Amino acid sequence: MPVPFTHWPDEAAARYRQKGYWLDLPLTDILTRHADSDATAVIDGERHVSYRQLHQAADNLAAQLQRQGLKQGETALVQLGNVVEFYITLFALLRLGVAPVNALFSHQRSELNAYALQIEPAVLIADRDHPLFADDAFLNTFVEEHRSVRQVLLRHDHGDHALETAIAQPATGFVATPTPADEVAFFQLSGGSTGTPKLIPRTHNDYYYSIRRSNEICHFDAQTRYLCALPAAHNYPLSSPGALGVFLAGGCVVLASDPSATLCFPLIERHQINVTALVPPAVSLWLQAISEGGSHVSLRSLRLLQVGGARLSATLAARIPAEIGCQLQQVFGMAEGLVNYTRLDDPPERIFNTQGCPMSPDDEVWVADEHGNPLPQGEVGRLMTRGPYTFRGYYRSPEHNAQAFDANGFYSSGDLISIDEAGYITVQGREKDQINRGGEKIAAEEIENLLLRHASVIHAALVSMEDSLLGEKSCAYLVVTAPLRAVAVRRFLREQGVAEFKLPDRVACVDALPLTPVGKVDKKKLRQWLAERPLT
């Protein structure tokens, strides 16, 4: 049984095939086409892994999982950081036709449980280096609560569960069983705006096209040496063009566990990195490190710096070529599909001031007013889009889909944008109830629900506040029955098992939350309060 998802209408699918966007090839073609190459595909610390070895390792793992009874149409929950095993596992599961959710390494109990509840995974693949899996306490509860899980593999495990052992078993007689190219290959994670994190089904056809087209625009080729310093599972460093773009082109991916200058600068010099992808706060920290002059490392090999995930100010943008000495590319994308790039030959003003234009000629993007009607060119309104690699529905979320899509299948991303006469987009704001903390998205409702579990909390509202480094941080406004300090609130949330970046940066206890005329919490007013009376 294939994983259920919202298909594109037949007419659209036929058009995308006819135009050569959908090739009916599995995503694993990205790797199998290089199966005989001894060029280095991944550098992870001191480990250099060739394409041949990567391909072999993925098949070994796939064969081992197949022998243990894993089948096409099943799902997997994976949590691996920026390590070569992440790509080995991804390709292994794709070869088997098992669709993974790749949780971020920063995710904790709450997120993993929410994903597992939705996909009912047959296998869990995680890492002993993650605090959750350092001992068996969480693992035991997890397999107890999620009865679908038949198999557990752990990186850096010394016992029966070792992922490395499974990867080392030769894949004799293995026959790959990928899902059909127009079925779900894996799930992407949405930044979300609802109580439960939403999953985005991505097919081989749509994802492969987005990667191929990204490579054309970003000029990735066999000489590309890409530093992956953002979370490897995230859509941006995975597919825009990201590591999968590099593999398709036959280049080399170098892994870094975080985007700090201390870690990344020496890697850039040592491995002659020529392209990388950052979020705006990391750019600020890189510029600071350069201006402090403490680093004697040369970044001369770096030719292209992609910046996306959150709004980049024009001031910061202009400092990139001037102070880092490389070209800037703005990337405005979403795990749901649509990705916009400034083009490499765009004039500097366009690169500094816009978030680029859609990558595909068949991306349909327009701007809607609050009633869903099209606005004249240049005006600010809601981004509406559909196209050859933009999904048609969140996994098993009919109520939410009814709101997120219009009757013609256009997805409303919750971003407020304007489009100029050349078709370039500027992100002007956001309508969705989400905080973008330096590229890490927080769904307000998810945290509010957790806050309401606290015995002293009667009402809770999470809103964004301006921050000079991260762009936005989060502030929790609480109505309480007994005084609550910020440390206690954060401790409570940590105990609920939620990712650290989602903990409120500030907490304010108030007598009542402001309401709109219809009685909803007035978040605009709350943000106004914050701007007028910044909390210390």
What order of strands is seen across the sheet that includes strand 471-480? 457-467, 471-480, 506-509
Q: Which is nearer to ligand DBH, 61 or 199 (CB)?
A: 199
Task: Give the nearest distance from C-beta 509 to ligand DBH in angstroms.
Answer: 32
Dist CA 207 CA 184 (whole Å):
10
Dist CA 161 CA 142 (whole Å):
15
Contacts with 159 (C-beta within 8 Å, 6 or more apart), sequence order: none
Q: Helices in 33-190 by DSSP H: which ranges?
A: 51-67, 84-96, 109-119, 137-145, 163-168
Omega before residue 241 within 30° of 0, cis? yes
Dist CA 264 CA 278 (whole Å):
11
Task: Give the nearest distance from C-beta 356 to ligand DBH in angstroms.
Answer: 10
- For 486, the token pair is 């910020």
Dist CA 342 CA 345 (whole Å):
8
When CB distances are held under 5 to 8 angstroms depending on the partner's kind, the choice from ligand AMP, ligand DBH, none that residue 427 binds is ligand AMP
When CB distances are held under 5 to 8 angstroms depending on the partner's kind, the choice from ligand AMP, ligand DBH, none that residue 240 binds is ligand DBH
Binding mask 342-361 for ligand AMP (x = CB under 6 A): -------------x------
Pick from 246, 249, 331, 478: which binds ligand DBH (CB under 6 A)? 331
413 touches ligand AMP by CB under 6 A: yes
329 touches ligand AMP by CB under 6 A: no
8-state DSSP, 4: P
235 touches ligand DBH by CB under 6 A: yes
The CB density around residue 291, as the number of other CB atoms within 10 Å, is 10
- The DSSP element (H or E) to which 450 belongs, if any, is helix 444-451
Q: Per CB under 6 A, which of residues 138..197 are in contact with ligand AMP? A: 190-191
When CB distances are held under 5 to 8 angstroms depending on the partner's kind, the choice from ligand DBH, ligand AMP, none that residue 339 binds is ligand DBH
Dist CA 194 CA 398 (whole Å):
13
333 touches ligand AMP by CB under 6 A: yes
The window from 88-96, 263-271, 302-310, 316-324 that contacts ligand AMP (CB under 6 A) reads 302-310
Q: What angle do CA 502, 93, 146 make, to 5 degrees?
A: 55
Pick from 81, 100, 251, 308: which binds ligand DBH (CB under 6 A)? 308
When CB distances are held under 5 to 8 angstroms depending on the partner's kind, the choice from ligand DBH, ligand AMP, none that residue 124 binds is none
Dihedral over alpha carbons 12, 15, 21, 22 (to 10 degrees): 70
Q: Which is nearer to ligand AMP, 102 or 355 (CB)?
A: 355
529 touches ligand AMP by CB under 6 A: no
235 touches ligand AMP by CB under 6 A: yes
When CB distances are held under 5 to 8 angstroms depending on the partner's kind, the choice from ligand AMP, ligand DBH, none that residue 413 binds is ligand AMP
What is 138-163 written as a DSSP string?
HHHHHHHH-TT--EEEEET-SSTTBH
Task: Give the nearest distance from C-beta 133 to ligand DBH in angstroms.
Answer: 26
Which residues in this chain contact ligand DBH in the complex, by CB under 6 A?
Answer: 235-236, 239-240, 308-309, 331, 333-335, 339
Which residues in this chain contact ligand AMP in the complex, by CB under 6 A?
Answer: 190-191, 235, 308-311, 330-335, 355, 413, 415, 427, 430, 436, 441
